[in-house]
Amino acid sequence: MTFTDQFLKESAAIIGQLDVASIEAMTRGLAAVREDGGRLFILGVGGSAGHASHAVNDFRKLCGFEAYAPTDNVSELTARVNDEGWDTSFSEWLKVSRLRKGDGILVFSVGGGSREKNVSVNLVKSIEHAKEVGARVFGIVGRDGGFTKQVADACVIIPTVSSDRVTPHTEGMCAVVWHLLVSHPALQRSATKWESVK
Number of domains in the chain: 1
Contact 141, 154 (CB under 8 A): no
Q: How confident is the model at residue 91 (pLDDT cuts 50, 70, 90)?
A: very high
Mean of the per-residue pLDDT values of the chain: 97
Does the pLDDT at position 87 exceed 90? yes
> Domain for residue 16, yes or no?
yes
Q: What is the pTM of this model?
A: 0.96
CATH number reported for the structural domain that contains residue 131 in this entry: 3.40.50.10490
Give the torsion sign (CA, 141, 142, 145, 147).
negative
Contact 83, 76 (CB under 8 A): no
Does the pLDDT at position 3 exceed 80? yes
> Domain for residue 11, yes or no?
yes
- The Cβ of residue 133 has, within 10 Å, a number of other Cβ atoms equal to 14
> Domain for residue 120, yes or no?
yes
- Cα(64)–Cα(44) distance, integer angstroms: 21
pLDDT tens, residue by residue, 112-144: 999 999 899 999 999 999 999 999 999 999 999
How large is the average pLDDT for residues 91-111?
98
Q: What residue numbers bound the domain in which 96 lies?
A: 3-190
How large is the average pLDDT for residues 107-112?
97
pLDDT at 143: 95
> Domain for residue 195, yes or no?
no
